[in-house]
Amino acid sequence: MSSSDTVRAGAVLLSRRAVVAAAATLALGLAAGCTARPLYGELAPAGAPGGAGAARHAAVDIPPAGDRVGQELRNHLIFLLGGGQGRPVQPAYRLDLATTASESVSATVNTGRVSLEPTAGIMSVSTAYTLTEIATGRVVSAGTRAVQAPYDIPAQDFAAARAVRDAENRAARELAELLRLVVAQALER
């Protein structure tokens, strides 16, 4: 056997080992992937609607809020949990929300010659939530979540008021996304 034949035999053996190693790695990767489950639905064929998980999320009722920011949060959350279907007809869970919004602005700088008004603010929206199973009255999950939304304060009064409202709306939408994850995790347990 010549040296070139030895090299070819070693290359074939090495390529066979590489194929076996790649196949083993792929098999382990697939086996590890079998332990993961979707958060928002069941394993279903492509194109099939969400399974029992999506139905549980759509069965959450949220009572009306007492203020504008709370109602904005509620509306977004109903849309996200129900997939655009609105409030559930036969709710299995109730999500009570107590929402507060607070505004903070940077400090005003006053000097002998110039008075500088603040030009930026932060809107903080927080909510205390309780997810309750209606049939048993058992509390499934409870806690507090908060979101902050920065905004610019223009010199014009109406534009400044609108900037505050836009910051409240943004914070309410982000908080709704966060609460959707909280509810989904609680219902999957």
The 3-class SS string of the chain reads CCHHHHHHHHHHHHHHHHHHHHHHHHHHHHHHHCCCCCCCCCCCCCCCCCCHHHHHHHCEECCCCCCHHHHHHHHHHHHHHHCCCCCCCCCCEEEEEEEEEEEEECCCEECCCCEECCCEEEEEEEEEEEEEECCCCCEEEEEEEEEEEEEECCCCHHHHHHHHHHHHHHHHHHHHHHHHHHHHHHHHC
pLDDT of 147 reads 94
CATH architecture assignment, domain 52-188: 2-Layer Sandwich (3.30)
pLDDT of 35 reads 54
pLDDT of 91 reads 82
pLDDT of 143 reads 93
- pLDDT tens for residues 52-95? 556 677 788 889 888 999 999 999 998 988 877 777 778 889 99
pLDDT of 119 reads 76
pLDDT of 189 reads 75
pLDDT of 144 reads 95
Low-confidence ranges of the chain (pLDDT < 70): 1-14, 22, 24, 26-55, 107-118
Query: What's the whole-model pTM score?
Result: 0.67
